[in-house]
């Protein structure tokens, strides 16, 4: 039998009474600010700051989770591949639930286009599995978390049991599991071996290493052995696959299975402290240079979420921020925890603006690309929770 498990150990959260809600941002500690405040909805406030010290243009969506707001991971295509603008993503989700605003989320690849660098989990469904970078995630109660997710799994045949180390993401030196949440097919990769399994029975249907993409069945899935897998693992896998028997597949995320998750890099602040290595993270021009940045932060025991964009690469308007400056801004905003999402030309914040007849999603920051808003791999939206949810929402 083929078994796919979305479960896993629950995250442990300290249950303490959150501090009293303060409607005024602690961000006023950011020296030399001028600001504009706009209430998007009860519990969601858009604030715009002009920090003259950069100059630096900062937009913040200040979200009170206690008033039934949460965040969702948004992808514009049926699967992990594809790019869409943040405003279009917000508008699409807004047709089925109230969306107050959104920011761009994870770094993404251009080949295949729009594949998030890290995990993308939407309503518990793993669209793209975790990579080597951290994620921002929320649990079933909407509580925020940053850290590293991993995949624990196995493919068991009558002949062998082999570890699965990746879910809806290629494992170059190991075994990965792809299901229909990833999309219609697994891309070709020279030297990879792809084994299609039937739904329910786990029977081997196809063993493929050719140049064409392998379709993913709507039920069932595809086991993919990476091209750099060690010879013993490759031999064991091929022996089991060519026997045309069955594989039982089990996969789960650890340390818990989030309801929503998007990748980012790096974690900036934890427990009100800047993390080490912020001056050297990533490429030589990534951490110490000033770029547009998109941040996700929270405070008040996770009750308050702060979605932040910092414009950059526009002299006279906004020069951007280094990673360390981004961390210090998060602290000045009153955050206890923060992570850098994607930045550069992707940095975008959209806010809902209702006209007499239709809801519109307006870009409120100034993206640095000459053509304006850039299509991105995914986004993070602020949505109203449905009735009957956690805490009476």
Residue spans of the domains in the chain: they are: 28-148+257-392, 150-254
**Mean pLDDT (whole number) for 345-357:** 91
Q: With the CA atoms of 346, 383, 28 and 143 taken in that order, what torsion angle do they form, in degrees rounded to the nearest 10? A: -100
* Mean residue pLDDT across the chain: 90
Residue 182 pLDDT exceeds 80 = yes
The region of weakest confidence among 1-10, 179-188, 292-301 is 1-10
pLDDT value of position 6? 40
**Mean pLDDT (whole number) for 250-269:** 98
Residue 305 pLDDT exceeds 90 = yes
Q: Which residue has the tokens 């479960």?
A: 7
Give the strand order in the sheet containing 99-104: 69-74, 379-384, 99-104, 349-354, 359-363
Q: What are 196-220's pLDDT values in tens digits?
A: 999 999 999 999 998 889 999 999 9
Q: Which fold has domain 150-254?
A: Jelly Rolls (2.60.120)
pLDDT band at 24 (very low <50, low <70, confident <90, very high): low
Residue 27 pLDDT exceeds 70 = no
**Mean pLDDT (whole number) for 329-342:** 96
pTM: 0.92
pLDDT value of position 8? 38
Check residues 245 and 259 and name the one with the higher pLDDT. 259
**Mean pLDDT (whole number) for 142-146:** 97
pLDDT value of position 15? 33
pLDDT band at 350 (very low <50, low <70, confident <90, very high): very high
Altogether, the residues listed in the chain come to a count of: 393
Residue 393 pLDDT exceeds 80 = no
pLDDT value of position 13? 31
Q: Which of 263, 256, 265 is nearest to 119 (CA)?
A: 263
Q: What are 183-200's pLDDT values in tens digits?
A: 999 988 888 999 999 999
The region of weakest confidence among 24-33, 63-72, 107-116 is 24-33
Check residues 78 and 379 and name the one with the higher pLDDT. 379
pLDDT value of position 388? 58
**Mean pLDDT (whole number) for 349-374:** 92
Residue 3 pLDDT exceeds 70 = no
């Amino acid at each position: 039998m083929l078994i796919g498990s979305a479960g896993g150990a629950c995250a442990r959260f300290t249950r303490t009474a959150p501090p009293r809600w303060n409607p005024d941002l602690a961000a006023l500690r950011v020296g030399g600010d001028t600001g504009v405040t706009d209430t998007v909805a009860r519990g969601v406030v858009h604030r715009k700051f002009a920090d003259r010290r950069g100059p630096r243009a900062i937009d913040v969506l200040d979200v009170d989770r206690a008033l039934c707001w949460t965040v969702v991971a948004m992808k514009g295509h049926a699967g992990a591949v594809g790019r869409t603008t943040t405003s279009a993503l917000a508008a699409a989700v807004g047709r089925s639930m109230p969306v107050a605003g959104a920011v761009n989320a994870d770094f993404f690849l251009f080949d295949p286009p729009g594949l998030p660098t890290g995990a993308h989990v939407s309503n518990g469904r793993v669209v793209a599995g975790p990579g080597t970078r951290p994620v921002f995630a929320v649990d079933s109660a909407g509580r925020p978390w940053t850290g590293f997710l991993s995949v624990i799994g196995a493919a068991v045949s009558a002949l062998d049991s082999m570890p699965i180390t990746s879910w809806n993401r290629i494992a170059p030196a190991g075994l990965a599991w792809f299901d229909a949440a990833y999309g219609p097919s697994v891309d070709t990769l020279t030297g990879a071996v792809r084994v299609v399994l039937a739904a329910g029975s786990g029977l081997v249907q196809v063993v493929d290493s050719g140049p064409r993409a392998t379709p993913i069945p709507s039920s069932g899935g595809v086991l993919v052995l990476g091209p750099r897998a060690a010879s013993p693992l490759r031999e064991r896998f091929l022996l089991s696959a060519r026997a045309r028997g069955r594989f039982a597949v089990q996969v789960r995320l650890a340390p818990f299975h989030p309801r929503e998750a998007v990748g980012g890099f790096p974690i900036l602040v934890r427990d009100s402290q800047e993390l080490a290595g912020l001056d050297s993270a990533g490429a030589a021009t990534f951490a110490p240079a000033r770029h547009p940045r998109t941040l996700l932060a929270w405070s008040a025991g996770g009750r308050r979420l702060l979605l932040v964009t910092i414009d950059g690469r526009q002299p006279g308007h906004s020069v951007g921020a280094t990673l360390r400056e981004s961390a210090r801004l998060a602290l000045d905003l009153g955050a206890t925890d923060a992570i850098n999402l994607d930045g550069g030309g992707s940095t975008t914040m959209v806010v809902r603006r209702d006209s007499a007849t239709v809801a519109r999603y307006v870009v409120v920051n100034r993206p640095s690309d000459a053509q304006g808003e850039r299509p991105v791999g995914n986004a993070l939206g602020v949505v109203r929770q449905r009735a009957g949810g956690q805490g009476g929402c």
